[in-house]
Amino acid sequence: MDPSITNLPESLGLEIKTPLDPDWERYSSTYNLRVPVVPKLVTLPTCVGQVSQAVRWAAGCGLKIQARSGGHSYASHSNGGVDGSVVVDLRRLQDVELSQDGIVRVGGGVRLGNLASTILRDGRALAHGTCPAVRIGGHFTHGGFGFTSRAWGLSMDQIVRLDVVMPDGQVVQASESENNDLYVAMRGAADSFGIIVNFYLLTREEPKAVVKWSVDVPTAIKSVKSAVETFAYIQDFVNNATVVDRYLGIVIFFAHDRFTIEGTYLGDCAEFHDKIFMPLRQGFPAAEAIHASYRSVDWSSLLQLWAGDGEVEVGPNYEEHLIFFAKSAVVSHPGLSRDELEGYFTFLLAEGPSTPVDYFVGVQLYGGADSQITAHAAPDSYGHRDAMWVFQHHGSVREGEFPDEGIRFIDNLNKALGPEHGASNNYADPSLQRDEAHKLYYGEKLAGLAKLKGALDPQDVFSHPQSIQRE
């Protein structure tokens, strides 16, 4: 390590980690061990001023920079995506400050579970994902789906203001009324434009009653015909505005031997039973074969259930490393045709039993009747406001190398849905080339993002293999 690369940040009082440090692996290893990326060094700022100093120094040295909030990037983009970047690790930015107007200021390194638990002490809640260990940065800036998102919008939709460190180290505020072009860029493509050191989020009053429900349909996956009929029935049901409204959240999980629908409903059990459950069950193919359960819980209990009955608040020394490959497909409204479903389940049932990796398919409902995800109208950089479903195809192994056969299976399973679908950069796919990733992630918003990149980061300071390039 060249001493000139490390002396300056240390002289500024900024702690850094380099390959010479005994704990380097802890600070440099990736969440997805299948995509190892080694930074040049990792900076550990303790305040906004030190983030600014780190960016100004690294950019002045001609180094590429990426922020790391929780480091859960599927493609290891939070480590730079390629060897040799400077990582600005935000784990020490832990402020959570709720104001009387219901807006909470959240430091860029706060975990979802800790955020949810803290604001709940004041009776407030947000829409976000279920994994408490994920940190706010990548989740809130690439969309961020949760079971309440159809009612409250994506995590990103709750952002009302941002404090952003720019490529020159300047700290600016971005909102609808101030630096609006930056505000648009950061909500959907933040890793290409700056580092968010503070999020300002509009919270909601915690729901007093939420129904946590699930329906297991083992017969649905016994044949291609039954799988197609079951999925098509669910799709028709959630598009039925005479029954379904924004308060219903759904994720479907399946494999070649599993078909389970899980969800929440913002209301009480009696309302859920009469309005949702009975109409859903009565029309279900092979209704006699389903196994259903539901119960009313408070918001605190729901957070704990999402955490797997573990701790909602996650300690500072938590680490997790997995070996996996995942792809996603974003299906536009009104959903998949029967021909697409038949091709998809034909492949799944033929190839799923013999794949050499553990895998699951998670299908999130973004659209459907009254969805506040698709109804959101404020300009942003999110490319899939018309989404009906977002599929995640996730394969993993417990140790060793991820086999090539597993890569092919996940890739071909994703392709089996058909060619006309987008992809989600919440599940960044390192197998995609930059141009293909841009098309799949951003769609028609790409041209505007390229112009913004030229205006806001013309030297490409914030860079990784799939970051936005200027025109």
Fold classification of 3-89 (topology level):
3.30.43
Q: What is the mean pLDDT of the chain?
A: 96
Q: How many residues does the structure list for the chain?
A: 471
The answer to whether residues 257 and 214 touch, using CB atoms and an 8 Å cutoff, is no
- Phi-psi map region of 226: left, alpha, beta (phi>0 left; psi -120 to 50 alpha): alpha
Query: Residue 349 has which token pair?
Result: 């049932």
pLDDT at residue 28 in the model:
97
Beta pairing, strands 16-17 & 41-43 = antiparallel
CATH number of 209-297+322-432: 3.40.462.20
pLDDT at residue 6 in the model:
57
pLDDT at residue 10 in the model:
66
pLDDT at residue 11 in the model:
66
Residues of the chain with CATH 3.30.465.10: 96-206
Beta pairing, strands 248-255 & 171-174 = unpaired
Q: What is the pTM of this model?
A: 0.96
- pLDDT tens digits, residue range 417-441? 999 999 999 999 999 999 999 999 9
- Phi-psi map region of 137: left, alpha, beta (phi>0 left; psi -120 to 50 alpha): alpha
Which residue in 398, 434, 436 sits closest to 415, CA to CA?
Answer: 436
What is residue 151's DSSP assignment? H
Residues of the chain with CATH 3.40.462.20: 209-297+322-432
Give backbone dihedrals phi and psi of 463, rounded to 5 degrees, phi first.
-140, 145
The answer to whether residues 333 and 353 touch, using CB atoms and an 8 Å cutoff, is no
- pLDDT tens digits, residue range 367-407? 999 999 999 988 999 999 999 999 999 999 999 999 999 99
pLDDT along the chain (471 residues), means of 10: 59 89 97 98 97 96 97 97 98 97 98 98 97 97 97 98 98 98 98 98 96 96 97 98 97 97 97 96 85 96 90 92 98 97 98 98 98 95 97 98 98 96 97 98 96 97 98 86
- pLDDT tens digits, residue range 259-278? 999 999 999 999 999 999 99
Fold classification of 96-206 (topology level):
3.30.465
Residues of the chain with CATH 3.30.43.10: 3-89
Query: Residue 3 has which token pair?
Result: 């001493």
